[in-house]
Amino acid sequence: MASEELGRIDKPDATPVIGKRKVYLITMVSPLPGAPEGFTTRLKNYWDAIDKNVSQLEARAGMVNRIFHEAVSVSGDLGLNLVSQVNQPAWSMIKNRMDSGATLEAFDNDDLFSQIVDWSRCAQVGLTSQAVADVIQAKYTEAAEARYAGMSENLEEKLGDSEAAIVIISSARGVTMPEGAEQFNVMPPELDELVRWTREASEQAMAQAQAQQQAAAAGVEPGHEGHSHGPQGEPEEGGSGLWTPGSG
């Protein structure tokens, strides 16, 4: 199965993909409550670029017929309502294509996703027993594999011959693309910018938190860390506490 990154390779003629199934793979990056304003702006830029790049891809490879979105377990308007809750910046891009005839399909499994979240939380509580840790890891892996298998099955069953689908997912590892489908990875430069900015903001926040901890250990009052000899730094855009953004 061929894989292409839109914008990072020469655009081939559309002829080879005519009559084939197509998957336009998009990295899901969703809003983070409490994230600095700089993240929100860059997130909007990312989804605006995705919308534009998908339109260009549709023009050369085929219009979108199906839409699959991580965390969406129901189809149609109910699914679109879920998108508005979990990934508002992508809502208009999806809605516009639904208005043009594309179908938003049920893709994820709520129960399996909840299991993955809960097992992850269990692993973070500070376990002292390796046997318990092994059980948690096994259960997590079992739920994740079942979830990915369900996603793969949904893609295979619902994507028709010659159709094109948008697949929005944080990581496609573990998910099998439909048989014979041509895969296009939609990765505009705005994604690199967002990832880089997120990493730098996280590192800066961690440095700030470390400086505050060292100042507290040295008996320096909050707001007077400049008199200590420890690392110093201030978040570029403010915020309080340690902000650690997620990654896809």
Question: What mean pLDDT, rounded, does the chain reach?
Answer: 84
144: closest CA among 176, 177, 121, 115?
A: 115
Q: Which residue has better confidence, 81 or 201? A: 81
Q: Which residue has better confidence, 48 or 6? A: 48
Flag whether pLDDT at 151 surpasses 70.
yes
- Within-domain flag for 159: yes
- Within-domain flag for 223: no
Supply the pLDDT for residue 38: 87
Tokens of 210: 């470390």
CA dihedral 187, 167, 143, 1 (to 10 degrees): -80
Do 232 and 209 form a contact (C-beta atoms < 8 A)? no
Do 19 and 182 form a contact (C-beta atoms < 8 A)? no
Query: What is the rounded average pLDDT of the residues 196-207?
Result: 83
Q: Which residue has better confidence, 195 or 240? A: 195
- Within-domain flag for 207: no
Write out the residue range of the structural domain in which residue 109 sits.
3-187
| Alpha carbon 211 to its chain's center | 31
- Within-domain flag for 215: no
- Within-domain flag for 213: no
DSSP-H helix ranges across 124-180? 130-158
143/114 Cα distance (integer angstroms): 9
Question: In the 8-state DSSP scheme, what is residue 175?
Answer: P
Do 105 and 68 form a contact (C-beta atoms < 8 A)? yes
List C-alpha distances in Å: 149 to 161, 173, 199: 21, 11, 31
Flag whether pLDDT at 5 surpasses 80.
no
Flag whether pLDDT at 66 surpasses 80.
yes
- Within-domain flag for 70: yes
41: closest CA among 194, 192, 243?
A: 194
184/24 Cα distance (integer angstroms): 5
The region of weakest confidence among 75-84, 87-96, 172-181, 219-228 is: 219-228
Q: Helix (H, G, I), strand (E, B), or coil: what is residue 109?
A: coil
- Within-domain flag for 192: no
- Within-domain flag for 93: yes
106/175 Cα distance (integer angstroms): 15
Q: Is the pTM of this model over 0.75?
A: yes
Tokens of 148: 């990915």
Flag whether pLDDT at 7 surpasses 50.
no
H or E segment at 214?
helix 189-217
242 pLDDT tier (thresholds 50, 70, 90): very low
Flag whether pLDDT at 226 surpasses 50.
no
Flag whether pLDDT at 176 surpasses 90.
yes
Flag whether pLDDT at 80 surpasses 90.
yes
How deeply is 191 buried, as exposed, middle or buried, from its count of CB atoms within 10 A (0-12, 13-18, 19+)? buried
Do 211 and 225 form a contact (C-beta atoms < 8 A)? yes
> What total number of domains does the chain contain?
1
Flag whether pLDDT at 27 surpasses 60.
yes
